[in-house]
Structure 1
């Protein structure tokens, strides 16, 4: 990283043991409401509002929450270079499962932890907590629990420098060196204070604070995933997102190079317009995609209900396969509270209707898959 490249940027270079660490400027920045920003702001607000109407019209919110959370976790993990799929995450707690993808077991566990962190974050905000350094650290610990070495210290702010875009993990080849570790705690406190106050409309502030969080890079690892989760939590806290329905990782993964370049352009040149436009476009596009995905899931459930108007146990199992598209009878019995015989009869009926299919090939511990649901959730 060449400090001369950042002379025109809004931040400053704060050296640490000879390393040129970049300290972002205090928030808020001065933002000009250009035509592009006004346009994408309107698009994002409209798309989020339409997504909220879908939530209001669904009688069982888990019909949407479970598929969307797993989808976001899979895409977020893929950004980090893994092969984790939706199926891998759903299958995580299913014993005797069929062959998984090529993903490493530690990567699958990490993706599953991300699911836990999403639920934890939303539950704590819903319970009345504000965004805080403590909450952020707790979510980081949940994300990295049992999957990283002690050197990455889950839940603890970093006290060492980190290097971004360094092929050999050296300072010399780094594209960017985030904030001096001695300033991380102060910078994060200031950022959280801004998150709970803000100066601009919430969707604009989300773009601003996501840049700030990633530029501070407060942890040794997991900053990208946690930063994307914080976007959802901020939108939820602002009343713009009813539940964790927004999987921004899909957009950031699709435009990964632009994401990295535009982040860097804010630090180098103060190019906030380009960055804010990019993030608001992501929010708008993914909110539209989530709405369309939700409509498909709601319609598919009605289609599955239709042949069984007088079979409440079958309908309960149908609801369950939307939450967990890989099905085992013991798990379905636990979740639906139906009798063993009722669940087995329901599974038999759903298999006969080709709504689920047996995939384990086992005589005793059978695993079923709901292919149409997976097709919707796993679509890019």
Structure 2
């Protein structure tokens, strides 16, 4: 009998693969029925003790938690001004773990309807999922997890948005069959009960917050409840859990940007978790949180210094709408006349003169995009965000 204080590892059960596809030639083998494969049975963890965790792991998690809280408190309401940038940075980093990358310019432009990159479009959708995750943080449920996935996947028509899967999913082999896969997630019939159990674990208050975030994420990835988008939804759920436990109150801390520094280690930690060894994923989230704080401090400093430099480079009367646009650019570095006017609460024609003045001062650049009209952008802020991504390990492309 296993130690009741140790974290349980996954069990497995045999299933028979029945393919609904029909292949010919070299793929004909995948039409064979009767292929046997082992699907995981994740343990239920709602009442699982964490007393068997290594003391140093718990101390590291506590250190990272205090650093996250301290960062939030030090900057106070100021950090809330950077919430849109940090949210998009977290979304981009989470997507990069799935090999989806795009420049900051492409991502912010995609949110305004300018789609030049499928990756940017998908990252923009991930940002909406992150927003939904934070909005739903007060009371996390199976329904709120479905909502996160629905928002994430709404722009495609292949995978059912906001629905538990009704078919096998697997990792580490060809797309035709789970036979020989590195990991086959639990049978779809088990998914609703496992997610309900996960939600009960998430609602516990007797577990250190960051430890809980890491374990919730790893258990969610073991369940793999959707046909696609599990990783991005799981990291959105991590943001929701951070907010739910009160670690982050003003912003979505880009923890995924910290995970990017060691993607192989992150994936190995998820494998270790499935083998009943949870320390690695807790350590990964703790280290990622500390990296995220350091990286975010630098980003906030760079953008704040940029804003101060604009005061020296741009001159206008105090009542000019240009000053409000400068504040907007710190967190929304790509705008249209309509979005700028909406933010300022004025009619659209009133923002054209200040936008023109900012272009003439070299603060903004403008480009007429086919069918969508003029877009204005701050290359300086976009470059600061791309530098943040580079420090995190994300390779950017347009």
| TM superposition score normalised by structure 1 | 0.85
Q: Which has the higher relative contact order, 1 or 2, with Cα contacts under 8 A spaced 6 or more apart?
A: 1
1:209-358 residue pairs with structure 2 within 5 A? 209-268=216-275, 270-305=276-311, 307-308=314-315, 310-339=318-347, 342-358=350-366
- Which piece of structure 1 moves more, 222-231 or 347-356? 347-356
Among 371, 379, 384, the residue aligned to 1:371: 379
Other-structure match for 1:10: 9
- 1:167 touches 1:173 (CA, 8 Å); kept in 2? no
Inter-partner Cα distance in structure 2 for 1:179 and 1:277:
26
Q: Which runs of no fewer than 5 residues in structure 2 stay unpaired?
A: 1-6, 17-35, 391-398
2:160 to 153, 162, 169: 153
Among residues 170, 182, 195, which one is paired with 1:188 in the alignment? 195
Supply the distance in 1 between the matched residues of 2:356 and 2:74 (Cα, whole angstroms): 32
Once the two structures are TM-superposed, the CA of residue 121 in structure 1 deviates from its matched residue by: 2.4
Change beyond 3 A, Cα 1:360–1:45: same
Other structure's SS at 2:321 match:
helix
How much does 1:144 deviate? 0.3
Aligned-residue offset at 1:123? 2.3
> More displaced, 223-232 or 342-351?
342-351
Superposition deviation, residue 159 in structure 1: 1.7
Q: CA deviation at 1:168?
A: 4.1
- What whole-Å deviation, never above 9, does each CA across 1:193-225 have from its counterpart, x for those lacking one? 110115421111111111100001111111100
Q: CA deviation at 1:247?
A: 1.7
Question: What is the deviation of 1:113?
Answer: 1.8
Q: Matched residues in 2 for 1:11 and 1:66: separation? A: 38
Please say if 1:113 is aligned against 2:125.
Answer: yes
RMSD: 2.7
- CA separation of 1:266/1:120 partners in 2, compared to 1, >3 Å: closer, same or farther? closer
8 Å CA contact 2:256, 2:288 repeated in 1:
no
1:72 shift after superposition:
1.9
TM-aligned CA deviation for residue 272 of structure 1: 1.8
Change (3 A) 1:322 1:209: same
Asked if structure 2 preserves the Cα contact closer than 8 Å seen for 1:214 and 1:224, the reply is yes
Residue number in structure 1 paired with 2:25: none
2:108 pairs with one of 86, 90, 97: 90
Please, which of 150, 154, 157 is the counterpart of residue 141 of structure 1? 150
Aligned residues of 1:141 and 1:155 also touching (Cα < 8 A):
yes
Is the CA contact (8 Å cut-off) linking 1:263 and 1:275 kept in structure 2?
Answer: yes
Shift of 1:56: 1.2
Q: 1:305 to 1:33 in 2, by over 3 A?
A: farther
Query: For 2:212 and 2:366, how far apart are their aligned partners in 1?
Result: 48
Aligned-pair CA distance for 1:139: 1.2
